Structures are given as C-alpha cells and as structure tokens.
C-alpha cells in the first residue's frame, strides 16, 4: 500500500504537531538572533503558502528597517528581548492627539490644511508604526519618495515635529528622529525650487476689469486691485473699519469659512492708506450697503441677497471669475489682485517700505524676493535706469594719457 506523499515545506517553515492539533512555525533571523514564531493555524497547503509569504515579508521589512516585531506577533515573548514595548502608542494616535492640541490654537483655514496633511500624508506614511520604530532613515525615505514640494513638506513637518517632541517629553522615545534632518540636505535641488511666479494684471487689464465689472461689484474690484488686501480681509471689512476723514482702512480681521478671525500674521493687522480710486470707490460703496446694518455691517455683500460673503470661494465664483470673463482678459486667480497692487506701485516708483506696510509684511525681504527679478514697466519693457550716468566716469581711450614703457 502506497504511503502518504511527503509535503515539501518552504524554507524556514515547519509543521509543529501536538497530541491533538498541529500548527505552523516560521524561522527568521533578526538582529543576529534566530527567532521562531508559531502561527496558530492548521498546516494546509494554503496556510503554508501564507507562512512562506509572511517570512519573505518579514525579511523585506527587516531590510527596510520597518519590521515591528510586536505588531507582527502581538503575543510573542521574544519581542520583549528586542525592546518592543506593547504599551508604547502608535504614531497614528499621537498625531491625532497633537491635532487636538493644535485645534485650540489654529485658525480655521490653517486647521483644515493640517487635517488634510494629517489624513492624506502623515497617517498613511507613519500611522501604522509604533513610536519607537520611527527612524531618521524612514523619514528620509518618505521625504524622497513622497513627490511633495519642499514647501508642502515643511508644512507637514511642523505637525510631525511637534508630535515627536511630545513623545520625547512623555518618555516614549529618547530623542526626536527629525532632529538634524534638513530638506536642503535630502531633496534634489529641483525639488527645493518653486516655479511659482506672480502673474499680475497690467494697466490695460486693470482698466478692462474695472470697466467690465457689474455696477454693484465695481467698487469692490477697485478697492481690491488698489489696496493689496487679501480676499478674507476684503470680505471681513465692516464700515467701522473705514476712516474717510483720515483716509485709511483698518485691517483687523479676516473672514474665513464663515467666521471672523485674526489676520494671517501680526503684521497683517495694519492701516491701509486710501489711494484716490479707493476713496471714491468706498464712497460709492457706502451708498450701496451702509444703510443695511450701519457701522457694524459688512462693506461688501452679495448683490441679490445682500448677505456677506462666506469665504474666498464665494467671492471667486460671484465676483472675480465673472468679471475676468466679461473683461475678456487672460484668467488669473484672485490672489493676483494683491500682486497687481504690489507690482503697479513698484512700477510707479512708490517707496518699497510703504508698499511692504500696505501689504502687511514685516520688512522688504518678501517684496525683493517675489518681485525683484520680475518687475517690468507698464509698457511691457524691462526696467531702464533713470539717472544720467554718461558723464560720471571717463573711460574713453581718446581722453586717456597712456604712459609708454621705457
């Protein structure tokens, strides 16, 4: 009688037989130690193939330095030998805890950006790891493989760095694995660069846009283009912020996602001087909306409902996009109104420190960096020096006395 055909077992996999049951055991080497772990499952052909795949997966994770012993084998006593602590939290719960802390400090717009970064990038990348298993190498690999711009990575790093610092404070880890990691030392040069450039309207386009604007929104478009005000600041203005006597606008809040909040930075709280077109536009606007709610009422509102704008998206759909379309000019996003003001002021030779103050910048660095290499005159030509430098230094060969050598 023929005997039962002997099963050829995969490498590192064997069958453990007990008196009343059987299980599968896999063997692998971790940190120079031969480890054996038991899988509580019968030794079927399918389970043996699973055990083989699991062993290959373990070796791949060991190679990538992502192997988490206690995660793979939660009941293993061997895991304790390698410093894996079942009481240490996963990064996902620490990130979520950090987000709760930050939610009490951040504005609505910033909070939404943090939440998107958390759910889209940080938790998928690191959430499955225990805090003690996150290494600088893992973070470097994520930075390189993420495909994200340097600016986006810096934003995500803020939340991750805060989370890891809290983990150090709570005694979960000894040091922050982000310490010493600098993007400029990791990313290729092309990833560190940004291809963003301002794309403001020129003088003809400004006139076309104001002329094409709906009568109700024309004063708003004028104020927008000739103050450098941000969209949220624009729709947050109330009549008590408008000082016609001294001709300034008091920017002290920003309207975001239906709520007023403090402006973007401390320097964004500022007084904007009214240029003549702004003064005239606000006088016209006062006739349209002042009587609706008086001093406390919003300056700019929807035409039909007379309700205030909820956020910049309302503003874009109702005012900016339709006006650009009616003007027949090339489309730009609404933030280009701010760039339009800055570029026009620079082209006309206005003081750069005054421009920085109007925009709410701390100094002139941003002005120089964003507009310094870009500025053109309103006629489209490159800047030409205005001084007469022809007679300052005489370098003509005809007027030189050249001493001959003896």
The answer to whether 82 touches 76, Cβ cutoff 8 Å, is: no
382 forms beta bridges with 376
Strands annotated E in 221-258:
242-243, 248-251, 254-256
**CATH topology match: 91-192 vs 203-371:** no
Alpha-carbon distance 308 to 286, whole Å?
A: 15
Sequence-ordered list of residues with C-beta below 8 angstroms from that of 152, at least 6 positions apart, any chain: 117
Sequence-ordered list of residues with C-beta below 8 angstroms from that of 36, at least 6 positions apart, any chain: 25, 26, 27
pLDDT, position 364: 84
pLDDT, position 194: 56
pLDDT, position 149: 81
From the candidate CATH numbers 1.10.3720.10, 3.30.565.10, 1.10.150.120, 1.10.150.130, the one assigned to the domain spanning 91-192:
1.10.150.130
Residue 101 in tokens? 């802390």
Instruction: Quote the distance between the C-alpha of residue 13 and its chain's center.
Output: 48
Q: State which fold the 203-371 domain adopts.
A: hpI Integrase; Chain A (1.10.443)
376: phi then psi, degrees, rounded to nearest 5 = -125, 160
Query: Model-level pTM?
Result: 0.56
Domain boundaries, the chain: 13-82, 91-192, 203-371
DSSP states along 145-193: HS---HHHHHHHHHHHHHHHHHHHHTTS-SS-TTTT--GGGTS-HHHH-
Mean pLDDT by 10 residues, the chain (406 residues): 63 88 92 90 90 94 85 80 72 91 73 81 86 87 83 86 92 90 78 68 93 95 94 92 94 78 76 94 95 92 92 90 95 92 86 90 81 56 58 52 48
Sequence-ordered list of residues with C-beta below 8 angstroms from that of 48, at least 6 positions apart, any chain: 7, 9, 10, 13, 24
Sequence-ordered list of residues with C-beta below 8 angstroms from that of 171, at least 6 positions apart, any chain: none
Instruction: Quote the distance between the C-alpha of residue 289 and its chain's center.
Output: 36
CA distance readout (Å), 384 to 291, 347, 389: 49, 11, 12
């Amino acid at each position: 009688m023929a005997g039962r055909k002997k099963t050829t077992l995969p490498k590192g996999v064997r069958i453990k037989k007990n008196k009343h049951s059987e299980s599968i055991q896999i063997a692998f080497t971790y940190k120079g130690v031969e480890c054996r772990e038991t899988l509580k499952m019968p030794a079927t052909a399918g389970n043996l193939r699973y055990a083989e795949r699991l062993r290959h997966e373990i070796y791949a994770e060991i190679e990538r330095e992502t192997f988490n012993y206690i995660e793979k084998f939660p009941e293993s006593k061997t895991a304790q030998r390698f410093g894996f602590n079942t009481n240490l939290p996963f990064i996902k719960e620490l990130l979520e805890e950090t987000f709760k802390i930050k939610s009490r400090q951040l504005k609505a717009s910033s909070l939404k950006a943090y939440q998107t970064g958390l759910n889209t990038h940080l938790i998928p990348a690191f959430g499955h790891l225990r805090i003690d298993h996150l290494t600088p190498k893992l973070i470097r690999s994520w930075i390189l493989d993420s495909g994200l711009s340097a600016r986006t990575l810096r934003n995500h790093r803020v939340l991750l760095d805060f989370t890891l610092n809290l983990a150090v404070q709570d005694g979960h880890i000894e040091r922050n694995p982000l310490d010493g990691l600098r993007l400029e030392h990791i990313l290729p040069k092309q990833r560190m660069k940004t291809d963003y450039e301002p794309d403001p309207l020129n003088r003809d386009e400004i006139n076309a846009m104001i002329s094409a604007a709906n009568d109700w929104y024309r004063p708003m478009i004028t104020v927008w283009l000739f103050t450098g005000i941000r969209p949220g600041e624009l729709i947050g203005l109330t009549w008590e912020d408008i000082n016609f006597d001294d001709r300034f606008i008091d920017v002290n809040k920003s309207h975001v996602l239906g709520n007023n909040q403090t402006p973007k930075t401390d320097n964004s709280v500022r007084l904007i001087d009214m240029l003549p077109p702004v003064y005239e536009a606000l006088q016209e606007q006062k006739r349209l909306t002042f009587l609706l709610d008086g001093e406390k009422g919003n300056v700019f509102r929807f035409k039909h409902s007379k309700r205030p704008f909820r956020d910049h998206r309302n503003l874009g759909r109702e005012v900016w996009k339709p006006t650009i379309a009616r003007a027949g000019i090339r489309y730009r996003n609404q933030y280009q109104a701010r760039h339009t003001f800055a570029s026009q002021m620079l082209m006309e030779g206005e003081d750069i420190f005054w421009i920085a103050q109007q925009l709410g910048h701390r100094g002139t660095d941003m002005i120089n960096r964003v507009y310094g290499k870009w500025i053109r005159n309103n006629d489209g030509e490159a800047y030409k020096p205005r001084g007469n430098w022809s007679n300052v230094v005489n370098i003509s060969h005809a007027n030189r006395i050249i001493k001959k050598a003896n």
